[in-house]
Structures are given as C-alpha cells and as structure tokens.
Amino acid sequence: MNGKFSQRLAAERERVKRSAADFVRSWDAFWFLPRHVETLAILRILTGAMLLYTHLVLATDLGSFLGVDAWINNDTSRALHDGRLGEATAAWSYLWSIDSPAWIAAHHVLVILASASFMVGFLTRLSGPLAWWFQLMIVHRLLGSLFGLDQILTYCVMYLAFTPCGAVFSVDAWLRRRVLGRRREPIWKGWTWLLPADQPSVAINIATRLLQLHLCVIYLFGGLAKARGQMWWDGTALWYAVGNYEYQSWDATFIAAYPGVFTALTHVTLLWEIFYCALVWPRWTRPLTLAIAVGVHAGIGFGLGMATFGIMMIAANFVFISPEWIRRWRGPTAERLEGPSQTA
C-alpha cells in the first residue's frame, strides 16, 4: 500500500516538475527566442510615416500649439503639470521653457528630420530614440489637444526605438551593403551596431511581446470601461457614435432605420474588445480577432473622422503578424543574405 502510494507520489512529483520545466521553457521562448525583424521594420515605416505626418500638420499651425501664444500657453501647460493647478506629475517637457518662435521652429525642423529618418530607416539606432524623445516632449507639451492617436503612436515608437528595426527595408540596409559589403569583420566595429544585420534578435522579440501585451491591456480596459456604460449593453452606443456630428466624416445615419444591425455591431465591438487579450494568441482565433480589429478601426477611421487613429491602430495590430510570413514573401533574398535560423 505504502509502496504504491510512494510510486504515485513520485510520479505526481515528476509530472509537476515536467510542467514547471515546460512553463519555464515556454516563458523563456515567449520572451527570449530571437525573432526576425521584418514585422517591426514595416511597423517602423508606418509609425515613422504617421509621426512625420502629425509633426508636419503641427507645423502648419505651430504657434497655436507651442509657445507663449498657444491655446495652452507655456506657463499654463507647465502649471498643469508642476502642481500649481493640481497634482504634480512627472510628465516634464523642456518645451515649456522655449518662448522664441524661431527656436520653436528650429526645434520642429529637427523633430521632422528625426521622424523622416526613422521612417526611411536612416541611422535608425539614433533616429529611433531621438524620434521617441521628441514625441514624449511634444505630448507632454500638447496637453489638451491629444487623443488616442498620440497614445498609440508614442507606444509604437517607444517599443521600436531600441530595436534593430532598421536592419531591413531601410537606408541603413543599403548603407550596410555599401560600407561593409560581404566583410565579416568591419574596419570599425561600431558599424555593426549602427547598421545592424538582418538577423534574428532577442531585442526584436522583447519589443514585439511588449507591444503585443500593451495592445491587450489597451483593448481589455477599453472594453471594461465600455462595460460600465448602459449603451454598450443595450446596443445603442454605435448609433450615438455615428450620430455625433463633430466626429462624423461619413454620414451613416441611415443606420438608424436598422437597429438590428447597429446593436449587433455594438455588441460585437464590446465583446471583441474585452476578449481580444485572450483570442489574439491562439492560432485559430487570431485571424478573426485581427480581422475584427481591422473592421472596427477602419470604421472609426472612415466614419468617425479619425483616419490617422484608425490607420495607426491597424498598424499596431500588425505586430501579431509573424515575420516569417514576410520573410517567405521576400523569398531567397533574405536567406541569401543571412541564412536560416531558429526563431520565435
């Protein structure tokens, strides 16, 4: 009897041990298996283009948003952060201290150059962190005129900034071929860091996982916040979004005659947002989850006047697309350059 019990206990112990080892292995692979760069490289282009666009639009009316004559002037912006008009926050910006329109314009030229460099992948190791830094300083200064676009844009550039996302589809890749050629040992070792090779990297995987999890948090709390309302449950929320004149970029008010349709879309949106964090991981539910993401954000972009936000959210969802797919599309070029390897 005792012997049988001991055997079962030992087997159970072994099973728990194996499960724990499996968990550690999966955890390790989830975060630390090297990953190819293609997905983040495309996201870099999209994020850089949107950064460039937002900064160019800001440039058309720069004095209204930065400086002493802005809607929220330097002193008010500072006071809203430093504790004089509420609780102090750490959202500091040196732009509070720049009064001269000439200096503000010169600074903005630098901001635009950094964004453009990041988009085309020129010296991405430097332009990425620089574009992120400028973005942080600007969002901390633009209090009052920000919305969802600024959030997702800041997060995308933050996660991309410290990865070798300029290794492909970039000026850096072209420069690397010109400067290093097929040499394995460059004259100056810094070149291999500045112009990263097209090879799997742990940094790419970590950045991918962080953005994926951040998206899950955004949708989860977006859905939970909606679940506290009544209209998302009785199905009328979509109508009240469509019927909002200030948001409207496409008149879809004909939908008022089809309550069965807009209530169904409201429920799908609510449930999709709440369960996105679970459904986006399994392979067989991921395509549908991402397809709804595209549908919802295309609807917001096309119908509710926030094309920039819609495009950027769809771009962020692109982070769930495996780089191996894009690599296969690239065909033999990628393999010829770096060769195959085991990746996430």
Partner 1 sequence: MHLAAVFTPPMAFQSRGPRGLSPSVSKLLAPLAAYGQFLYLDRGYAFFAPDPGPSHLMRAVVGGDDDGDGDGDSNQTSRSDLGAGEGGADDVDVHWYPDLNEQWPRLLYHRHFMLAEFLNDSYHPKLPANAAQWVGPDLPLEELKAWRLGRERYDSILGSMTDHLRAQFGERSVRIDRVEHGLPDFVVYASDPTPLDDPSTYIVIEDISIPLESLLDVRPESLPPGPPPGLGSDLSVPAVQPLDAPGVQGGPVR
Question: Which residues, 160 to 189, sit near partner 1 by CB under 8 A?
Answer: none
Nearer to partner 1, 215 or 334 (CB): 215
Nearer to partner 1, 47 or 170 (CB): 47
What is the rounded distance in angstroms from the CA atom of residue 133 to the CA atom of residue 136?
Answer: 5
Residue 100 interacting with partner 1 (CB under 8 A) = no
DSSP state of 243: T
Query: Could you say which of 210, 294, 321, 337 contacts partner 1 (CB under 8 A)?
Result: 210
3-state DSSP call for residue 97?
helix
CA 329 to chain centre: 23
CB of 105 vs partner 1, minimal distance in Å: 17
241-264 burial, b at 16+ Cβ within 10 Å, e below that, comes to bbeeeeeeeeebeebeeeeeebbe
Query: Could you say which of 112, 113, 126, 143 contacts partner 1 (CB under 8 A)?
Result: 143
Query: Could you say which of 113, 179, 197, 236 contacts partner 1 (CB under 8 A)?
Result: 236
Query: Could you say which of 23, 174, 240, 325 contacts partner 1 (CB under 8 A)?
Result: 240
Residue 231 interacting with partner 1 (CB under 8 A) = yes
Residue 248 interacting with partner 1 (CB under 8 A) = yes
Nearer to partner 1, 161 or 165 (CB): 161
Sequence-ordered list of residues with C-beta below 8 angstroms from that of 252, at least 6 positions apart, any chain: 242, 303
Residue 256 interacting with partner 1 (CB under 8 A) = yes
Nearer to partner 1, 247 or 281 (CB): 247
Residue 158 interacting with partner 1 (CB under 8 A) = yes
Nearer to partner 1, 39 or 263 (CB): 263
Considering only residues 37 through 56, tell me which ones interact with partner 1, judged by CB under 8 A: 53-54
**DSSP string computed for 275-336:** HHHHHTSSTTTHHHHHHHHHHHHHHHHHHSS-HHHHHHHHHHHGGGS-HHHHHHHHTHHHHH
Tokens 């901001």: give the residue. Answer: 111
Which tokens in the block code for residue 228?
């506290």
Nearer to partner 1, 46 or 79 (CB): 79
Question: Could you tell me if 289 and 280 are in contact, meaning their C-beta atoms sit under 8 angstroms apart?
Answer: yes
Considering only residues 61 through 90, tell me which ones interact with partner 1, judged by CB under 8 A: 61, 64-65, 69-73, 75-76, 79-81, 85-87, 89-90
DSSP state of 69: T
Residue 127 interacting with partner 1 (CB under 8 A) = no
Over its C-alpha atoms, the chain yields an Rg (Å, rounded) of 24
CB of 217 vs partner 1, minimal distance in Å: 5
CB of 267 vs partner 1, minimal distance in Å: 14
Tokens 């809203």: give the residue. Answer: 80
Residue 149 interacting with partner 1 (CB under 8 A) = yes
Tokens 């995308």: give the residue. Answer: 156
**Which stretch, 99-107, 111-119, 224-232, 283-291, contacts partner 1 (CB under 8 A)?**
224-232
Nearer to partner 1, 226 or 330 (CB): 226
Tokens 């010109």: give the residue. Answer: 178
Query: Could you say which of 30, 32, 221, 325 contacts partner 1 (CB under 8 A)?
Result: 221
Considering only residues 265 through 324, tell me which ones interact with partner 1, judged by CB under 8 A: 305-308
Query: Could you say which of 213, 278, 288, 291 contacts partner 1 (CB under 8 A)?
Result: 213
Q: Which alpha helices (DSSP H) does 60-145 contain, by range?
A: 62-65, 74-82, 101-120, 124-141
- Of the candidates 95, 131, 132, 134, the one whose C-alpha atom is nearest the C-alpha of residue 116 is 131
Nearer to partner 1, 37 or 153 (CB): 153
Adjacent-strand bridge partners of 201: 35
Total residues contacting partner 1 by CB under 8 A comes to: 77
